[in-house]
Amino acid sequence: MIPDTDPNSIVYLNGEYQRLADAKISVLDRGFIFGDGIYDVVPVYAGKPFRMAAHLARLQRNLKILRLETGFTTADWEALVTDMIKRSGLSNCVVYIQVSRGVAKRDHAFPLGVKPTIFCMVNPFTRPTAQQRDQGLSAVSATDIRWQRCDIKSTSLLANILARQQAVDSGVDEVIQFRDGLLTEGSACNIWMVKDGELLAPPLDEHILEGIRYRLLEELAVQQDIPFVARPIAQHEVDTADELMLTSATKEVLPIVIYNGQPVGGTGRPGPIYRRLQAAYDKLVEL
């Protein structure tokens, strides 16, 4: 038994639907041996996948970068996600999709003629609590020690794991990472800053993941007449931010109110721009 999992939940593995407890892969799978794979996470509200097209476009983009040929069209991925949601019987849930390069003799170079391993599971989605939304989160700064292709949603997550553990060890909720003195992102989320009424985020490049909520928050900002600027953000600017927030599929939009032990914006309370964006986000997912 794997703690905190439902052994009877149905997962998809290489064309077959199986109980989680029965699904097995080879120890030679390159996902296991090398972390040679990519993944995506689609949130589902009331049985409806949210921004599925954007998630699947990112999945297909990542597969292409890694030259992983699944033979799945976007319509096939859509059908799989829809089917998995139905089989789960869950209303609010999270669909996890992973593709690794498959099973081969251990050698770094791409093996020839190997079929990728395709895996999908659905887990219950516990949305952020009222306390997290109303009282906010805490974060500390950290050096971004990750590689130069953080735009790839790779299953090689060691540096993200170390970053997340740094937050746990520091007794806070998240880390805010900096590379060469510039803001990148959290351990598993994008980071946003508000200064003088402007919403700021680092530009999309190879140092951050293009979160599906990156574009979405940009859209919501435009809709709400909040000026949005994507530009390099220096670490000292984050120290004096009026507001800080994070976004991810499972965290949605949450405020960071304590940063390096100091109250953000001098108040340590969620700010007005956060409140507007969060309300707009809620409206979208509850449609």
CA distance 231 to 69: 35
Catalytic residue among 64, 86, 115, 153: 153
Q: Which one of 182, 212, 257, 264 is in contact with ligand PLP (CB under 6 A)?
A: 212
Is 123 near ligand PLP (CB under 6 A)? Answer: no
Binding test (CB under 6 A) with ligand PLP, winner from 101, 164, 179, 213: 213
**Of 173, 247, 253, 271, which lies in the binding site for ligand PLP, with binding defined by CB under 6 A?**
247
Structure-block tokens of residue 62: 């990542």
Q: Which is nearer to ligand PLP, 211 or 270 (CB)?
A: 211
Residues 79, 4 contacting (CB under 8 angstroms): no
Nearer to ligand PLP, 114 or 222 (CB): 222
Q: Which two tokens stand for residue 13?
A: 């593995």
Of 145, 149, 178, nearest in space to 159 by CA: 145
| Of residues 140-179, those binding ligand PLP (CB under 6 A) | 160
Q: How far apart are CA 69 and CA 150, in angstroms?
A: 21
- Say how many C-beta atoms besides its own lie within 10 A of residue 3's C-beta: 4
Q: How far is the CB of 167 from ligand PLP (least distance, A)?
A: 13
Give the nearer residue to ligand PLP in terms of CB position, either 223 or 267: 223
Residue 36 or 185 having the CB closest to ligand PLP: 185
The one-letter amino acid code at 117 reads T
Least distance from ligand PLP to the Cβ atom of residue 107, Å: 29
In the chain, DSSP assigns E strands to 10-13, 16-19, 37-45, 48-49, 93-100, 117-124, 137-143, 174-179, 182-183, 190-195, 198-201, 228-230, 243-248, 252-259, 262-263
Which of the stretches 92-100, 102-110, 205-213, 226-234 binds ligand PLP when contact is defined by CB under 6 A?
205-213
* 36 interacts with ligand PLP by CB under 6 A: no
- Rounded to an integer, what is the distance from CA 80 to the centroid of its chain? 20
| Contacting range for ligand PLP; rule: CB under 6 A; set: 7-15, 175-183, 206-214, 253-261 | 206-214
Contacts with ligand PLP by CB under 6 A lie at: 160, 185, 188-190, 209, 211-213, 247-249
The residues annotated with a catalytic role in the active site are 153
